[in-house]
Amino acid sequence: MDKTEGYKAANISVFKTLDSVRENYNLFELAQQINKTGDKKNLAKKLNINRSVLSRAIDEAGILSTFKLINKSKVVPLARLKTIKERKLFFEKYDINKLECRRLYRLVKGWRTLLEKDPRVLLTKEQHDLILGSTLGDASIRQRNKNCSFRVGHTKQQEKYLNWKYRLVKEFTKLPPSWNIRKLNNHTIKTLEFSTFTHHVFNFYRKLFYKDGRKRVTREILNMLTPRSLAIWVCDDGSFGTSQPYIILCTNAFSLQEHETIKKYFEEIWGLSPTIGFRDKKYYYLRFKEKDTQKLIGIIKPFVHESMKHKIGEKNE
């Protein structure tokens, strides 16, 4: 049965105010119909609701479903807080019911600025490590207008690994992972991908990793790494030799100078001394000798995903 059945007929051709939508529709039922890209546009057309007004109605339903006693006049600034966890943290920090809307707008703006400076106010340690390790590896931070999103893609062989990543940041997504066909070096490959929605929290990582549109690695980034983020980096970019028990990091996107920075980091922080290699007359990579490989495995093994054990020379579970 169509969820819009039973709504009262409108006396106007297009609902242009939030009050008119409240009067004629159940906002929570409207929100339940938004599941994927394009749903909001299609629903607005179907019900003759102005799209921006529908967006505000959906935001109001989301806020009121979590915080039922909030004055509706305060929904608009609060709707800029995109996840349930973010809203709860903000509500713990401020007494919303005692704040005027003007003051609330300023506080929300300040909150978003804070997240751009320190995303760990909102993110868990696991989420932070995932973004660091994956962005050093296969992931990217994409600029979308003012804010950024986190995007990950892997082939069929890494499907379980990608789904694990997705579950870690699911609260920042609207859609589950989907399959796409891409061309790489004249070869067609099928990849499973997901992308978060844009959020101020990802702006921190865009600024950290990118300069003039190019992903880079700096000592500042490396100093943030933990055994967990190192494990993710190895799972993304690492390989374990078949003829010799070496781990190789295929850090092809980085320059020789950046490889020297990475080498120095491993030497000073972990007591490892990888060799910088060069192949195909254009790509640099890092190779850990057998003794250092075993030491590196000892550091990262507790955090290597069960489906990626082959990256450290073991059988996948």
Kindly report the number of other CB atoms within 10 A of residue 7's CB atom.
14
What gap in Å lies between CA 313 and CA 258, rounded to an integer?
27
Distances (CA, A) of 60 to 33, 70, 261, 292: 15, 10, 49, 55
The topology (CATH level 3) of 217-317 is Endonuclease I-creI (3.10.28)
Handedness of CA 243, 245, 246, 248 (dihedral sign): positive
Distances (CA, A) of 65 to 52, 58, 80, 238: 20, 11, 15, 44
Domain range annotation of the chain = 18-119, 122-207, 217-317
**What CATH class has 122-207?**
alpha beta
Q: Are 122-207 and 217-317 in the same CATH fold? A: yes
Query: Which residues does 217 contact at the CB level (< 8 Å), separation at least 6?
Result: 136, 209, 251, 254, 258, 261, 262
Kindly report the number of other CB atoms within 10 A of residue 235's CB atom.
27
Q: Which of 90, 89, 81, 43 is nearest to 59 (CA)?
A: 81
Please report, in tens digits, the pLDDT of each residue of the chain (317 residues total). 444 544 444 444 578 888 899 899 998 899 888 877 688 889 999 999 998 899 888 888 888 887 777 887 888 888 889 898 999 999 999 998 889 999 999 999 999 999 999 999 999 999 999 999 999 999 999 998 899 999 999 999 999 999 999 999 999 998 899 999 887 777 788 999 999 999 999 999 999 999 999 999 999 999 999 999 999 999 999 999 888 899 999 999 899 999 999 999 999 999 999 999 998 888 999 999 999 999 999 999 999 999 999 999 999 87
Distances (CA, A) of 28 to 32, 34, 44, 54, 72: 6, 10, 15, 12, 14
